[in-house]
Amino acid sequence: MKSYEIAGAKIEVEDRGRGLPVLFVHGFPLDHSMWQAQVDVLSQNFRTIAPDLRGFGASSPSSGTVTMRQFADDLVALLDCLKVTEPVVLCGLSMGGYVAWQFWRHHASRLRALVLCDTKASADTAEAVAGRHKLAAAVIATGHGAARDAMLPKLFSRNTPVAKPELIERTKMMIARAQPESIAAALRGMAERPDATPWLSEIRIPTLVVVGQEDAITTLDEMRGMAAKIAGAELVVVPEAGHMAPLEQPEVVTPAIASFLNCCSA
Ligand code: MLT
């Protein structure tokens, strides 16, 4: 891992390989290691850049509210530190997708293409906002276990806990690495993110949309609707996967991303 000071935080990043830069942005409340299967394969042909967002993994803890815009701005500063001037392919999962909308909106010249995994464009409903604040308070009061218990039952397909129990353990370990204040800060940031739906028809870069068929958080229907609004977007539906499709079915997701990247770099 490399480490950089960015806007008052230490940001850790795994930077491997050479070629077209691909920036992997993890979901909530995880870290860069959720992309390990993709990075191991894709770094043979591309430059894979997989940071821990501020507050997560080995990066500095955060507090208050961390907006999706702040995460996106951190990523651009990180690319500057890594001397990546060429536009990147941003591959984000869920919260990573919320960051992708901000990256597209505010740093379009740094973006070549999008891979949107198990995410959505819509903002939170009032009920979802209330749920985020309630969970933030619970995490502050009782620790990261409150986030683990809220998230784990929703993350995987029915079969994954039986067929691949090690993934549940890996996910628990990722969540345990985040400090309660950092988890709460990201929850508050997600609660105030804007609706990106009106932007979808303005996106004019190659876009791959990936969704686990059993995703309970960002459903197939929702993602199909989102993909339909982005001109030319390709949709890949991953069988026997839930919200964590890249982790659950790397044999399907990694080749899909590889073939998309090959088209982007052609
Ligand atoms: C994620 O996986 O990043 C979260 O499910 C995002 C969310 O809570 O909206």
pLDDT tens digits for range 56-108? 999 999 999 999 999 999 999 999 999 999 999 999 999 999 999 999 999 99
Please report the atom of ligand 1 found closest to the CA of residue 118. Answer: 2
Range of the domain at 158: 2-265
Q: Is the pLDDT of residue 226 over 90?
A: yes
187 CA distance to ligand 1 middle (Å): 9
pLDDT for 113: 98
Please report the atom of ligand 1 found closest to the CA of residue 120. Answer: 9
- Other beta carbons within 10 angstroms of residue 165's beta carbon come to 10
Q: Is the pLDDT of residue 4 over 90?
A: yes
Q: Is 59 exposed, middle or buried (0-12, 13-18, 19+ CB in 10 A)?
A: buried
pLDDT tens digits for range 34-51? 999 999 999 999 999 999
Cα gap 42→17, rounded to integer Å: 8
Q: Is 190 in the pocket of ligand 1 (CB under 6 A)?
A: yes
Closest residue to atom 7 of ligand 1, CA basis: 95
Give me the percent of the chain exceeding a pLDDT of 90. Answer: 99
Closest residue to atom 4 of ligand 1, CA basis: 28
pLDDT for 79: 98
pLDDT for 265: 83
Cα gap 74→11, rounded to integer Å: 8
> Would you say the pTM of this structure is higher than 0.85?
yes
pLDDT for 266: 79
In the chain, how many domains are there? 1
pLDDT for 219: 97
The CATH number for 54's domain is 3.40.50.1820
Side-chain-side CA neighbours of 238 within 13 Å: the count stands at 30
51 CA distance to ligand 1 middle (Å): 17
Contacts of 242 (CB under 8 A, 6+ apart): 154, 155, 156, 157, 160, 212, 214, 215, 216, 248
Split at pLDDT 50, 70, 90, the class of 139 is very high
pLDDT tens digits for range 149-207? 999 999 999 999 999 999 999 999 999 999 999 999 999 999 999 999 999 999 999 99
What residue has token string 């941003």? 90
